[in-house]
């Protein structure tokens, strides 16, 4: 899906080859989610709380669902502010399924805060074709 309306987003999903012989390949995901107009401060507050008060809960949640790396950015674009997230997991589809179905307090809080600032409801993630990967580099 593409667009700049709340709840619309673009997902890039690729499976990288192992960079080191014997190392397992990881799913590498880039998620771009437009922030609802007027909600950038709320989005910043969400990420501040995630990095501060909620960090131990965040760590437990990511480990439980199998996410090994997750990085969030705020991008200012001509069509509005957007979250850009990069996620690594051995099985991203499995991790997303676990997270979407989770009723754990932290996971519910995260999904609510993300929906509050973007309109994206990860309780029922949208389906659709993934955009075409054009380039990937690994040393």
What pLDDT shows up at residue 129?
63
Predicted TM-score (pTM) of the model is 0.81
Match 């950038």 to its residue by tokens. 40
Residue-level pLDDT, tens digit, the chain, 139 residues? 444 454 455 444 444 544 545 556 778 888 899 999 999 999 999 999 999 999 999 999 999 999 999 999 999 999 999 999 999 999 888 999 999 999 999 999 999 999 999 999 999 987 766 556 678 788 8
Integer angstrom CA distances of residue 15 from 7, 12, 108, 132: 25, 10, 28, 12
Q: Are 92 and 27 in contact (CB under 8 A)?
A: yes
32/60 Cα distance (integer angstroms): 24
Q: Please give the sequence-ordered ranges of beta strands (E in DSSP) within the chain, or none if there are none.
A: 10-15, 27-34, 67-77, 80-89
The DSSP secondary-structure symbol of 102 reads: -
Name the CATH topology of 10-118: Alpha-Beta Plaits (3.30.70)
């Amino acid at each position: 899906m593409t667009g700049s309306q709340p709840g619309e987003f673009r997902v890039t999903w690729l499976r990288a080859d192992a960079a080191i012989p014997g190392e397992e390949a990881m799913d590498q995901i880039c998620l771009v989610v437009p922030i609802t107009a007027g909600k950038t401060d709320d989005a910043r507050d969400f990420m501040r709380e995630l990095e501060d008060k909620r960090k131990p809960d965040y760590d437990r949640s990511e480990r439980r669902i199998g996410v090994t790396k997750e990085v969030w950015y705020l991008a200012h674009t001509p069509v509005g502010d957007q979250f850009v997230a990069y996620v690594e997991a051995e099985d991203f589809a499995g991790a997303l399924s676990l997270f979407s179905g989770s009723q754990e307090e932290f996971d519910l809080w995260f999904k609510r805060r993300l929906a509050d600032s973007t309109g994206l409801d990860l309780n029922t993630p949208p389906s659709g074709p993934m955009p075409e990967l054009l380039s990937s580099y690994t040393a």
